[in-house]
Every structure is written in C-alpha cells, then in structure tokens.
Structure 1
Amino acid sequence: MPRPGSSGEAATAPEDRPATRRRMELWRRRRPRRTSWLLGFLALAANDRRGPRPVAGQDVAVSNATEPVMVPASQYWDGVDGPWSTFDFLVGTPPQRVRLLPSLGGSSSWVVVPEGCPASLPESCPDDRGFTFDYTASSSWDEIGLFELSLYVESQLGLSGNAIYGFDSLTVGLQGAGGATAARQIVGGIGTPDFWIGAVGLDPTPMNFSDFNDPQPSFLESLVRDGVIPGRSFAYTAGARNRLPPVFGSLTLGGYDAARVDGPDSLVSFPFGADISYDLLVGVAAVTTDAAGVAQPDLLPDPIFAYIDALVPDIWLPETACDRFEAAFNLTYDDDAQLYLLDEATAATLSDLDPSVTFTLAATVDSPAASETVAITLPYSALALSVASPRVSNATTSATSADADSAAPYFPLRRAANDSQLVLGRAFLQHAYLVADYDRRNFSLAQAVFPAPGAAQSPVAILAPGAAAGNGTAADDDADDADGGLAAGAIAGIAVGAAAAAIAVAVVAALVLRRRRRRRRAAAEPAELHAGDERRRRRAAELQGGGRKAPAAAELEGAVGGKVEMDAEANRKVEMDAEGTGKVEMPAGGEGGWGRGAGQVFEMQGTEIHQLGV
C-alpha cells in the first residue's frame, strides 16, 4: 500500500448514499449557474491534464521549504468532554493567545470570542474555553460578517452555531517564539457551546464569501504559498491524558513526526473518499474487545464506513454495535444526556478489568482480506473520559458523582441513527496517528507511539509532487508527440490562452456593472453600525445560539472539487428566523443519509438586513 508521500487509488465507498446535504427546511434549491461552452471546454482541458491535480481547483504552488512545522502543544488539557490536549496559536494585532484543537475538514479557523462567555458562566470561562479573542482589540481585524458555521458531518450529529467572520493574522506557537505566520486568514469568532474549544482549519481547500470567483486561501495553503511548509499535508494524534505519564497531542504541518509511529512501515494508506465532505473516510472491518468473560467479543455486527473527525469527541457506531458494547461493558444509556454515563461502581470495575477495544480498518469492507489493514487498539484508559457542564447539566453530574460541580465519568460511545452519523472522533485519535496528504489525496493511519518524557521530535517532510521531482512544478508537461506535432498539453495551452482574453473582457465588464450596483446600493442604504455595546449584546445572543441564526455557508463547485464555507454578497448580510434554540435535524434522502447529493445544492432562505446588530 502507498505510504505518506505516495499516490493511492480511488476510495471504495458505500453504494447506497441518499442524496441529501443540508437542512431542507432552511435551504432552497440553488438556481443552476449558467456555464458557457468556453468554460466547459476549459474544464475539459483541465481534467485531461496528466499528473497530480491541483487542490480544489487552485493553481498549483510548489514550496521550496524542506522541513515541516511542528505545532507546540499548549501543555493544557482542555474541554468539557475529555480532557483534550490543545495547541498554541496567536491571532490578530497585537497578538492574542488562544488554545485550539485541529479541524481536519475545515478551511477556516474558529476562536472563542468574549460573547461566548456570558455572565451566566463562571469567571473562569475564558480560560476554560482556551482563551477568548477580542476582535475589536485587533487592528488587523477586517470584518466580513455574521454567518452560520459551515458544518458537514457535524451538523448531522446535531451540532450547530454561528460565527462572526473576518480576516486576521494567524501564528503558530507563542509570542516571541518565531512561529510560522499567515496574514489575512479567515477567522470565525464563535460562542456556541457545541464547540467549547476553538479549532484551527487544516483543509487546504479555499473559501469564498462575496461570490464564487474570489477564493480565499486556507491556512495550510497560505503556508505552502509562502514557502513555510513543503506541501499540503498534516499529521495529528490527540494525545492521552489518562496514560501514565500523560502524553500531549502532536500536530505537524507539511509532514509527520516519525517519533509518533513505529517506523514508516506501520503507516497504512487509504485513498480519500469520493465525496469531498467525507474525504477522511475509512472502512471499519471489525471492532473487537479482549474483555474477560464477554460472550460476544465481536462488537461490530457488520462492517461500516466511518469518517475521522477531530471536531467530535466521541465514537459514533450503529445502534446494533452499541447494544453489544452495553452487554460487554455493562453500560447504561442515559436518555436525557444521550450519553453512556458511568456510575462510580461501574467506572471502578471497568478500571480494574482494563479491557481494550481494537478497530480493524481497511480500504474496502466488502473484502477486507484483499486490502491491507491496520489495527488501532484503545485501552480502557482512553475510554474513561469525563463530561461536565454545559454539555450536561449539574444535576446529571451530581447523579453520578458526589460533587455536583465535578465532571461525570462517561464512555465516549454514541448511537448512530444512520450511515451519515458514523464517526471516529477524538477518543479514537488518542491512540491513532493520522497523516493526511492533500497533494496526493490519500491519508495514512498507524497505532500511535507515545515517546518518553523529554524525547526529541523526529520531523519528516512530505514534499509536494513537483518539489519531489526537482522540477519546481506539480506535474510534468506533456511530451511532444512522436511525429513532431504539438502535444495535447500544448494544444490545450494555446486554446486556454486564446480564451483567456475573452474571459478577461467578460470579467472586466462584470466588475464595472457590479461596481455601479454597489454605488447605487451604497447611496440607498444606511451605513453599517460600528461595534459597540448594543451590537455586542445582540451578537452574544446570536453566537450563543439564541435569537436568529446567521446565513448558512455554501459549497464551491470547483474543477476538482473542494469544500468552501461561505457564500454571500460582500455588503449583504442575511439572518434566518429560528424558533427557540432547538436544533433541526437534516432530513435524509433515504435510509442511509449519505452523501452530498447528485447535483443538488441548497441555500438558506433569509431576510436581507443592512445594519448588523440593529
């Protein structure tokens, strides 16, 4: 099987994926975009190119960097459902420190803003949430507007929230450490308790806000273009708080840490999923336990496909598998908390028995023996987590613990209603090491190794294909035909060059018309309010999940495909009316609930407003 830095085959995905993407009740179907024959020809020419393809339709930038960036762990264990090892970043000017978790499928970064710590929460809230970012105190903050978080898998798990988005600088590590910096990064200020800790986006796919023709580079892509990291790749393991001694997480940009795996041969590669929203999709051939006296050690009745997601703390498996876990570990499902909470006696018994759970992963589940597999074993210490308010109420914690203000022990297993909810979250990534290579569209997994305290890191760069070939490009040009005629690539280049002038004229005309429309709107519309106390009060309600929700994000249909997170005209902000604070489940297009739909993209209906916060 391919290793990190090598190519892979197309993913084998479930065949029956109902066509559904968004919350149908809140979105309307997008009108088809008009595509000229010229753009169709250009897309065909792009798809005919041989060699590695650009990432998400971007031009291929090749970095001269030869070393990856090792993101320092914050030395904190954060969260209300872990705890979890976080990483240090700086945002804004002057720089403000925040502690973040990785967002494996996100192109933007999220930071908790002061509105996320209302007076009803303890004074320790800013520290509890990894510090808050005051965007009004950053001179480099360039506000975009209030939008609904762009969530793919997470929305199907009942998670949601709004964010105040803007451009600002993002730096790896602490102030004075000389960490890698990227200017004008898309940063979303969040307040929702669904995501208690902020996150740094690691997907290199660009994002659009004003329209579909203005992609903004992601953090990873910016580091490649600036020559900071050698390629579009990252590696992550969540660390293990309950291990003795505890081991912090590891996050590497542009490569991986060889000290966290048992040699390169331990890494088994998988191709990205065909669905761009499920790129880190892996087949789970079996889940077993070594618990003594268990009548059914095989905990997974049928093989499944699951998505690897570091934004989600738990492991979501089919209900039939959860039933077997209940029998094997004496678990009881709490209907109110929708969690497997453990009383003190059960937690103590499981700790004494110390059973382990092993996940056997394969590229295909139809015939896993025909492909290379990797086994990831989680000891019980990785499953003995704790949950606290606000994820559960103090009344819930008091029912399982003598101290009502303390965290309650819980088993990080969730009951998935359909295939779209099958997720391997951070609990799984405590003992799994993940390497994602977007240049070659594959990822690798291995059992994580925990180095001794004080052991040195061992960074290994994953070079972009062009850099590895030593020619400064991501793909070789097509060779001339044997008969001396022009190669197909040269012909396509001539056609593209001839078409570029026509496109340029059309773009200039569109810009002129757009500028005229903006001037007319500017003359008719009142100026937007500056940030102030009243605006903050209103935003606090929106960011914490109350009041009206912000406009949702849309996807960019690129030549290669990719996720983007925003779509709105630059000077229009839309909010949607919502009743209460309840979450709306996305209707399934069938029993499974898989996939982004066959040519269906949905938009949210909303009300146009011109003064945010009024």
Structure 2
Amino acid sequence: MTAATSSLPPPISVSTSQAWDNDGAGSWGTFIIEVGTPAQPARVMVSTAGNEVWVVVPQGCPDKYGSDCAKDRGDIFTVENLTTWTNIGLYTLELETNLGYAGNGQYGHETVSLGYPGSGGPSLDNQNVAGIAAPDYWQGVFGLDATPSNFTTLNEPQASYLATLRNQSRIPRYGKVQGSLTLGGYDASRFSSQNITLPVYDDVSRRFLIQVSAIKYIPTGLSTTTTSITLASDPISLYIDSTVPYIYLPGAICAKFESAFGLKWNDTTEIYTLNDTMHTSLQNMNPNITFTLSTSNGQNLDIILPYKAFDLNASFPVIPDGTVNYFPLRRAANDTQYTLGRTFLQEAYLIADYDRSEFTIAPCVWPSTFKSDIRSILPPSANTTRTNGTLTEIQKHTSIPVGAIVGGVIGGIALIVGAALLFYLFFYRRRHITSDSSPDVPTIDPSAYAAVAQVDPTKDKSELYSHYHGTELAAALEQEKRNAELAGNPILGSELASSQPVGSELDSPQIYEMPARESVAREMESPLGPGRNPKTGQEDSNYFDKNKKTRFSFEE
C-alpha cells in the first residue's frame, strides 16, 4: 500500500433507522439524520437524483392528515426551535419535475448529522436544508448527488453533503448497503461479479440513462424450461432514480403488463391495482420479470426481478384512504418520464463514478446469511487501473469491478475537481427479511450547477404546498382553499395541495426554468416560452435546462 492510499480516510458506516416507512407506495428502509441545534431527528429516503437535505415541516401535517402524520412522514422539523438556522429563502423543489412532482421548500443553512447520536456518523455545518410540506414528496430526502446548488446566481455555489465530505477529506467515496449507509466504500458481499459500465449523462437531472433492449417474464417463475413471454423488444432508454418507487414505461409496454398480470389502471390515483384473486395467483406463481440492459459495444446484462419485488400495497397519500394491492408501474406521458425507480433497484446494484464519468450496474445477490465485507474504493489518483470494461484497484484488498456495487441497492459517485465520491445504497424492503466546519466551495464550471427556483421571499413562508399528485384529495383540498380565499380568510401555516395555481406561493403544478431572479408574470401556470409539460408531453427545449437557478415572484 502506498503512502498516498494509506492516508485516505476509511469508510464511514451509518445505521438505518430500523423502521419501515411507507410513502404510500410501499414500505421502504429509511435512514436517520439529525438537523440543527438542538438536533432534531428525521427519517428520510435517499435520492440518487437529489443534492440537498429535505425535511418535513409542521405545515406538512394539517389536521386532515390524521394524528399519525408526523410519524408517517418521518418526524417533523421545526425551524423556530433552532438556534443555528440561517435562512436562505423560499425556493421551488426540483426533483422529479419531469414526472409531474412539484412543491416548494423553505431553505436555510444548518448542521446535518447522519445516524443516531453516538453512532459515529459525520456531522457537517452549513448544509443546504429545505423544509417541505408538499405531499408529492411524502418523506424527507437525503440527496446523494454532489452537484452544488445556487440560490442567487451561478457564481455562488453551495456544496452538497457529499461534496463537503470529500472537500473536508472525510471520505474517499460514499455508499449504502443493507442495514447501513457506508460513506467512502461498499459492501463486497452484496453483488454479483457480472456488470456493465456506461457513461454518466451530462444532464444533472438524468445522470443514469440506460438502454433496456428487452423485458420478458416467465409465467411460473419456478421453472427454467417455461417459455418466456416478451413484454418489450424494442430498445428504449430509461433513467435510474431512487427518489421514486415506480417504473415508468411507454403505454404500449404497460398494456402488455396489463394483459400478462391482470392489472387494472385507476385514472384517479394513476396506479395499477390487482384484485385479490389475481394477487394471490401471482404470489403463488411468483413469476420472474427480466430486464435486459445493453451497451453500445454489444454487452448485455439481465436484471431479474421476482414478482415479490412488485408486490406492494398503496396507501395514503397515493390513495385517499385504506390500502390496496398495486403494481408499481406507471404510464409515461413522454420519453422524459421513462424511469426505473426503487422497485428496480431492489435487485440491481448501481455505482456511479462522476470522477471517471461512468456508472455500473450489477445484479444483487441474496445469500442465506449476510456477512458484511466493507471495503474502501480509492479515487483515480490512488493508483487505479481499468481492465476489460471494469475498474480494478491495484491494491488487492480493494480490488473490485466498478459496477458490482449497489443493488436492491444503488450507488453513485460525484465528481468535484478531480475528487471521487461514491454512494452505495440499498433499497431493502421487508420482503427480503421474511422471504429469504463551513464547506469549501468547489471551483468547477458554473454551467454544471444545479438550478433552484426561488419563490418571492416577501410572501408568507408557511405556504409550502404543491398540487396533490394523482388523487381525488387534490380536488377537495383545492376547493377548500378556494372557499377560504373567497371568504377572505387567510390560510396561514396550513396551505394544502391544489391541482391548479390559486395565488399562493407554494402551489406549483410544475417548475419552469428561467434565468436567476427573473420574475414570472403569473404563478407558475405555464413556462416562460414554449414548454414540455410533464403531463401533456408538449415540447420545450428549455424545460429541463438545469444550468440556471430560477427565482419565482408572484403578482397579487
């Protein structure tokens, strides 16, 4: 081992919350973060697309959401109780806008720690934190992308959590495995040696684009001799994103899934449901669905998902009340929505290396017993080499194919001035248990910075809601809000979702990109200039421009 490699910091392991949190689209493992002084705990989902920390504020739990809302949303974050909060302003939330998600957040700088007190997780000051209320983002978010944020101009980047760790030499890379979050390494026991490596896409909103050349399934799921049935045979490009649970596919492919699995589309909730008879039949058969991934040089990789990976229950806020068996497939309105979410990542490991501008995917493995094998991954400067399309560290103790890292899990890395950051992430659902200092500002091209849309800071900061995506509750909340406004009653601290803009800052059906601090004539009803609406699929060359931050101001 060289002196350079021996001086690198070891991985940091962070425990999960030990809770199974339900975002309405199934139960998923979450992580604990603590925000502020005094510290306030929150259980959050990890996001491969996000670069910020989001926590739910009191406005996210109005009375109509019930007495368990705070627990259901991962605990409530109260800015008023903090002594170290530095306010930034009210900005639009920029995750999943292509999928129709929307909302706004009250941003500030605050201390963020990973893990429970005493667990040894890192604690960083001056991190970008947003208080959110919009039900589209039901849980808080811990972003794994290292792209900086800008809240005024492109010349004032605010480093992400991952970037700060790397800048402060706290990790060589970043990752998550079953039952733990590993910063600066990976668990070698979690993945197969088979993998493919692809270039990272330049668009910060769509880092991990892959080509799926075929989707097939075996009806019984139990016999290798059973003839497979083709669900898709024409290659399509899809975006991997841990932020959402669903798989978004073209309507024609969804129709084949409907026929094969007896799925029923619900226009109100925008999910596929199954009746009890079909659900029981599929559980008994446990068919395998195989996604064949391809590269431009002819490599193929099969990611096999058993039906159990799709066997989920929908609940509030995805549906108004109760629970229903559902299949986490959604119809994409256009090609910008083609997405492989957390469902896919239950059986696929992903590692994204921004320093090398590539990411790798491998099937996860499920041994009868798990024994963690935590290892460091070194940055390119620490004597690494590439062999046959995989990355192999020269040091034997860290030798591993670049792609075989993340699955049931996900991984990613971020590049900042030649620094490699790795995140390794495991989306582990209950079924696997039962069935088997101030941050340094990176000096990189400002055109690569993530955009943040700002809402007029003179407006009421309690207005933290967006439209309620895909349920009848939206109409009810919208009508209630309109009635209150018509009656002249102010709605403070409890502004809720609405499917149409009604004059409050945080009711944003979509987010539209404009130069920093450029005003919008009306409250986010339509993009400035021609646009591609996530719901309608209309074209807009500027809609996904992430090179500029956007500030919104509104007319009374």
Q: Distance in 2 between matches of 1:555 and 1:64?
A: 43
Q: Provide TM-score, normalisation by structure 1.
A: 0.65
| Selected match of 2:319 from 375, 378, 392 | 392
Task: Tell me, yes or no, if the aligned pair for 2:219 and 2:287 is still in contact at 8 Å.
Answer: yes
Task: Tell me, yes or no, if the aligned pair for 2:513 and 2:544 is still in contact at 8 Å.
Answer: no
| Alignment pair present for 1:338 and 2:245 | no
**2:230 alignment counterpart:** 298
**1:418 alignment counterpart:** 334
What's the CA shift for 1:156?
2.1
Task: Tell me, yes or no, if the aligned pair for 1:254 and 1:462 is still in contact at 8 Å.
Answer: yes
**2:21 alignment counterpart:** 78
Work out the percentage of aligned pairs sharing the same amino acid. 37
**Please, what is the CA RMSD of the aligned residues?**
3.7
**2:528 alignment counterpart:** none
What's the CA shift for 1:467?
3.9
SS at match of 2:260: helix
**2:204 alignment counterpart:** 276
| Selected match of 1:149 from 90, 93, 104 | 93
Q: Could you say if the C-alpha distance between residues 114 and 411 of structure 1 is closer, same or farther in structure 2, counting changes exceeding 3 Å?
A: same
Q: Who wins on radius of gyration, i.e. which is larger?
A: 1
Q: What is the letter of the counterpart of residue 288 of structure 2?
A: S
**2:261 alignment counterpart:** 329
What's the CA shift for 1:110?
0.9
Q: Distance in 1 between matches of 2:33 and 2:240?
A: 23
Number of residues of Structure 1 aligned to a counterpart in Structure 2: 445
| Alignment pair present for 1:351 and 2:286 | no
**1:131 alignment counterpart:** 75
SS at match of 1:223: helix
**1:108 alignment counterpart:** 52
Q: Distance in 2 between matches of 1:259 and 1:576?
A: 53
| Selected match of 2:10 from 56, 63, 67 | 67
Q: What is the letter of the counterpart of residue 40 of structure 2?
A: Q
Higher relative contact order (CA 8 A, sep 6+): 1
Q: Could you say if the C-alpha distance between residues 574 and 65 of structure 1 is closer, same or farther in structure 2, counting changes exceeding 3 Å?
A: farther
| Alignment pair present for 1:442 and 2:364 | no
Q: Could you say if the C-alpha distance between residues 177 and 385 of structure 1 is closer, same or farther in structure 2, counting changes exceeding 3 Å?
A: same
Task: Tell me, yes or no, if the aligned pair for 1:542 and 1:548 is still in contact at 8 Å.
Answer: no
Q: Distance in 2 between matches of 1:193 and 1:598?
A: 25
After the TM superposition, which of the residue ranges 459-468 and 132-141 deviates more from structure 2?
A: 459-468
Q: Distance in 2 between matches of 1:299 and 1:305?
A: 15
**2:100 alignment counterpart:** 158
Q: Name the structure where helix makes up a greater proportion of residues.
A: 1
What's the CA shift for 1:131?
1.1
SS at match of 1:222: helix
Q: Distance in 2 between matches of 1:439 and 1:163?
A: 30
**1:91 alignment counterpart:** 35
Q: Could you say if the C-alpha distance between residues 253 and 112 of structure 1 is closer, same or farther in structure 2, counting changes exceeding 3 Å?
A: same
Task: Tell me, yes or no, if the aligned pair for 1:115 and 1:543 is still in contact at 8 Å.
Answer: no
What's the CA shift for 1:311?
1.2
**2:523 alignment counterpart:** 577
Q: Distance in 2 between matches of 1:252 and 1:129?
A: 24
State the Cα deviation string for residues 484-528 of structure 1 (Å, max 9, x = none).
xxxxxxxxxxxxxxxxxxxxxxxxxxxxxxxxxxxxxxxxxx999
**2:406 alignment counterpart:** none
Q: Distance in 2 between matches of 1:437 and 1:103?
A: 16
| Alignment pair present for 1:464 and 2:396 | no
The equivalences for 1:222-237 within 5 A come to 222-231=164-173, 233-234=174-175
| Alignment pair present for 1:310 and 2:242 | yes
Q: Distance in 2 between matches of 1:172 and 1:191?
A: 22
State the Cα deviation string for residues 542-569 of structure 1 (Å, max 9, x = none).
688875234997879xxxxxxxxx9549
Task: Tell me, yes or no, if the aligned pair for 1:204 and 1:217 is still in contact at 8 Å.
Answer: yes
Q: Distance in 1 between matches of 2:521 and 2:172?
A: 40
| Alignment pair present for 1:254 and 2:184 | yes
Q: Could you say if the C-alpha distance between residues 334 and 475 of structure 1 is closer, same or farther in structure 2, counting changes exceeding 3 Å?
A: closer
Task: Tell me, yes or no, if the aligned pair for 2:106 and 2:461 is still in contact at 8 Å.
Answer: no
Q: Name the structure where strand makes up a greater proportion of residues.
A: 2
| Selected match of 1:428 from 340, 344, 349 | 344
Task: Tell me, yes or no, if the aligned pair for 2:511 and 2:524 is still in contact at 8 Å.
Answer: no
* Structure 2 spans left out of the alignment, 5+ residues: 385-393, 395-415, 420-456, 464-489, 526-531
What's the CA shift for 1:600?
9.4
Task: Tell me, yes or no, if the aligned pair for 2:153 and 2:549 is still in contact at 8 Å.
Answer: no
SS at match of 2:63: coil
